[in-house]
């Protein structure tokens, strides 16, 4: 891969700076592709000092990032200062985090970066500053519109032994049930199939479609949505030639033997999807956005304010996200 990955700063008061520094320090052992941070050089320098780490940091143009990567952590400036102390977001946090995402998208859309990897943002901090999107996933879809329709973004959490997709994402459980439709399940599954084929090289993806209710509704006695919403979606997908099975009782879908029978579990709400993968692979899970005209991955964890600046943040999930982004970008180039 010749082009570098664009890594967005994320919430400057979170562990994004810590894991960025740690990932760069492990670049050889982890065999990382070249990456640069889209953000604020001073923020990284301050964090390295707080961590007691000797870190060469080079502010560069994107074109020089891959070369600089061998000897310094390359930073491509957004022009937005990020002054927040570890664990304490401040008035610069939201603008710095959002600006870095926008810049990273510009970089990949203009063909100067291979893919985007995002550091975690604190959603509540951004919401307080007026951010109108539930998270990166929906914001990236908006940035991808390019004058046309907004693509449907699909959140997938991936690790080597499991991939999960929540059909409804950052909404309350009550709203997730109210919003769930057959069409949402079908359109989500179609995007999953297309991107697993084109970006992960799975020729005929096998989908396991979770039921919504306990025991997938127990023949309608524990809720009717599995019969009226989920089963018709499975039927439509099968008629299209997609290898989809369900609705399956969610409690027995995720044990080791069951996981070998599908390539991706399509789940009805956030925690149904994210609890199993964060339980088995919190350290190496990757969040991927499917359905976009570019590749975006992210660590599976959040801003971890409780340990920012302490040296306890584990960069494994970020490292996995970078490796998966490079693999997907390579596959997309054919």
Ligand X SMILES: NCC(=O)COP(=O)(O)O
Ligand Y SMILES: NC(=O)C1=CN([C@@H]2O[C@H](COP(=O)(O)OP(=O)(O)OC[C@H]3O[C@@H](n4cnc5c(N)ncnc54)[C@H](O)[C@@H]3O)[C@@H](O)[C@H]2O)C=CC1
Q: Which residue numbers belong to the known binding site for substrate? A: 136-137, 278, 287, 296
Q: Which residue is nearest to ligand Y (CB)?
A: 302
Please report which helix (H) or strand (E) contains residue 212, including its range.
none
Tell me how far CA of residue 289 lies from CA of 121, 182, 213, 231, in angstroms: 15, 21, 26, 25
| Minimum distance, C-beta of residue 155 to ligand Y, in the bound complex (Å) | 9
Exposed, middle or buried by CB within 10 Å (0-12, 13-18, 19+), for 17? buried
The answer to the question of residue 119 lying near ligand X (CB under 6 A) is no
In angstroms, rounded to a whole number, what is the distance separating the alpha carbons of residues 239 and 196? Answer: 19
The answer to the question of residue 93 lying near ligand X (CB under 6 A) is no
Q: Which is nearer to ligand Y, 109 or 123 (CB)?
A: 123
Q: Which of 243, 283, 266, 115 is nearest to 188 (CA)?
A: 266
Q: Which is nearer to ligand Y, 263 or 314 (CB)?
A: 314
- HSE (CB half, 13 Å, CA atoms) of 157? 28
Contact (Cβ atoms closer than 8 angstroms) between residue 273 and residue 157: yes
| Minimum distance, C-beta of residue 48 to ligand X, in the bound complex (Å) | 25
In angstroms, rounded to a whole number, what is the distance separating the alpha carbons of residues 307 and 225? Answer: 41
The answer to the question of residue 136 lying near ligand Y (CB under 6 A) is yes
Q: Which of 5, 142, 135, 9 is nearest to 80 (CA)?
A: 9
- Residue 304's binding partner among ligand X, ligand Y, none (Cβ under 5 to 8 angstroms by kind) is ligand Y
The answer to the question of residue 136 lying near ligand X (CB under 6 A) is yes
Tell me how far CA of residue 142 lies from CA of 26, 39, 131, 148, 151, in angstroms: 34, 21, 12, 10, 8
Backbone angles phi, psi at 267, to 5 degrees: -110, 160
The answer to the question of residue 270 lying near ligand Y (CB under 6 A) is no
The answer to the question of residue 301 lying near ligand Y (CB under 6 A) is yes
**Span of 39-47, 114-122, 224-232, 237-245 interacting with ligand Y by CB under 6 A:** 114-122
**Span of 49-57, 70-78, 98-106, 133-141 interacting with ligand X by CB under 6 A:** 133-141
Exposed, middle or buried by CB within 10 Å (0-12, 13-18, 19+), for 153? buried
Total residues in contact with ligand X, by rule CB under 6 A: 6
Q: Which is nearer to ligand X, 272 or 298 (CB)?
A: 298
The answer to the question of residue 306 lying near ligand Y (CB under 6 A) is yes
The DSSP string of 164-209 is EEESS-SS-HHHHHHH--HHHHHHHHHHHHHHHHHHH--SS-EEEE
The answer to the question of residue 313 lying near ligand Y (CB under 6 A) is yes
The answer to the question of residue 137 lying near ligand X (CB under 6 A) is yes
The answer to the question of residue 281 lying near ligand Y (CB under 6 A) is no
In angstroms, rounded to a whole number, what is the distance separating the alpha carbons of residues 184 and 169? Answer: 12
Q: Which is nearer to ligand X, 165 or 185 (CB)?
A: 165
Among 302, 310, 331, 332, binds ligand Y (CB under 6 A): 302
| Minimum distance, C-beta of residue 135 to ligand X, in the bound complex (Å) | 3
Contact (Cβ atoms closer than 8 angstroms) between residue 208 and residue 245: yes
| Minimum distance, C-beta of residue 287 to ligand Y, in the bound complex (Å) | 6
For the segment 248-307, give every residue that binds ligand X (CB under 6 A): 274, 287, 298
Interface residues with ligand Y (CB under 6 A) are 15, 19, 120-124, 136, 287, 298, 301-304, 306-307, 312-314, 317
């Amino acid at each position: 891969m010749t082009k570098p990955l664009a890594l967005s700063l994320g919430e400057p008061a979170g562990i994004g700076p810590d894991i960025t520094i740690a990932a760069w320090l492990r670049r050889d052992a982890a065999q990382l592709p070249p990456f640069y941070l889209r953000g604020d050089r001073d923020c990284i320098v301050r964090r390295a000092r707080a961590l007691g780490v000797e870190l060469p940091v080079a502010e560069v143009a994107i074109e020089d990032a891959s070369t600089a990567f061998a000897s310094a952590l390359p930073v491509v400036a957004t022009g937005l200062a990020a002054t927040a102390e570890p664990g304490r977001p401040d008035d610069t946090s939201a603008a710095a985090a959002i600006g870095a995402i926008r810049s990273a998208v510009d970089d990949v859309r203009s063909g100067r970066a291979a893919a985007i990897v995002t550091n975690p943002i604190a959603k509540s901090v951004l919401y307080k500053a007026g951010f109108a999107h539930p998270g990166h996933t929906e914001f990236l879809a908006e940035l991808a519109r390019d004058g046309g329709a907004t693509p449907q973004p699909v959140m997938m959490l991936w690790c080597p032994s499991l991939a999960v997709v929540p059909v409804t994402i950052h909404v309350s459980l009550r709203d997730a049930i109210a919003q769930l439709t057959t069409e949402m399940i079908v359109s989500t599954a179609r995007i999953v199939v297309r991107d697993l084929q084109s970006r992960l090289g799975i020729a005929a993806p096998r989908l396991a479609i979770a039921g919504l209710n306990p025991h997938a509704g127990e023949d309608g006695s524990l809720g009717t949505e599995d019969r009226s919403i989920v089963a018709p979606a499975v039927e439509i997908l099968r008629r299209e030639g997609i290898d989809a099975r369900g609705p399956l009782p969610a409690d027995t879908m995720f044990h080791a033997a069951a996981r070998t029978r599908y390539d991706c579990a399509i789940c009805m709400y956030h925690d149904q999807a994210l609890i199993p993968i964060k339980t088995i692979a919190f350290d190496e899970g990757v969040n991927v956005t499917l359905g976009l005209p570019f590749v975006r991955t992210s660590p599976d964890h959040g801003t971890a304010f409780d340990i920012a600046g302490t040296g306890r943040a584990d960069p494994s999930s970020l490292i996995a996200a970078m490796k998966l982004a490079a693999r997907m970008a390579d596959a997309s180039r054919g």
